[in-house]
């Protein structure tokens, strides 16, 4: 039966990413910027006791003018959002983010989750039909359980 490989240290994970064709550089916000396929993420070393060698300081997104754009889901379409603008995401951008995320997880020895393996997941979900519901929910009383069934 094959043995599970020993977990990598942060520096070993960064070296493994370089060998796998990822571009690695220091990030402006601290941490390490890792990019490939036009997508990028910022990694930081995992704390003692945490699983894996690296944690995401910034989730994977399209690299736009040196900034990692967040993926925003509005229910009917996904958008890439930076500090300056918000544009509809293209299929090639979504594919690049998904491919980047899968390879990054595999190389650093992270956990691959089923729902993330199916396709690109968003950072933020903003649905028009839900806008303003926070205010309505605070005005109404919570439902109390009735006795019986």
At 107 the pLDDT is 83
β-strand pairing of 70-73 with 124-125 = parallel
Residues paired with 36 in a beta bridge: 39
Prediction pTM value: 0.69
C-alpha separations of 6 from 52, 82, 105 in Å: 10, 38, 15
Most confident of the following: 8-12, 66-70, 112-116:
66-70
Cα–Cα dist 147/143, whole Å: 13
Residue 13 CB-density burial (10 A; 0-12 exposed, 13-18 middle, 19+ buried):
buried
Assigned token pair, 82 = 């930076």
Would you list the domain boundaries of the chain? 10-128
């Amino acid at each position: 039966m094959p043995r599970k490989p020993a977990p990598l240290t942060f520096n070993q994970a960064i070296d493994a990413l370089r060998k796998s064709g990822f571009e690695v550089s220091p990030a402006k916000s601290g941490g390490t910027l890792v990019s490939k396929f036009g997508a990028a993420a910022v990694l930081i070393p995992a704390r003692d006791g945490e699983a894996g060698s690296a944690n995401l300081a910034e989730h994977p997104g399209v690299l736009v003018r040196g900034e990692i754009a967040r993926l925003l889901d509005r229910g009917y379409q996904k958008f890439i959002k930076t500090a300056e603008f918000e544009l509809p995401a293209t299929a090639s951008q979504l594919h690049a983010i998904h491919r980047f995320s899968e390879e990054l997880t595999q190389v650093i020895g992270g956990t691959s989750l089923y729902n993330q393996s199916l396709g690109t997941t968003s950072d933020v979900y903003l649905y028009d039909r839900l806008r303003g519901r926070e205010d309505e929910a605070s005005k109404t009383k919570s439902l109390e359980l009735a006795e019986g069934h």
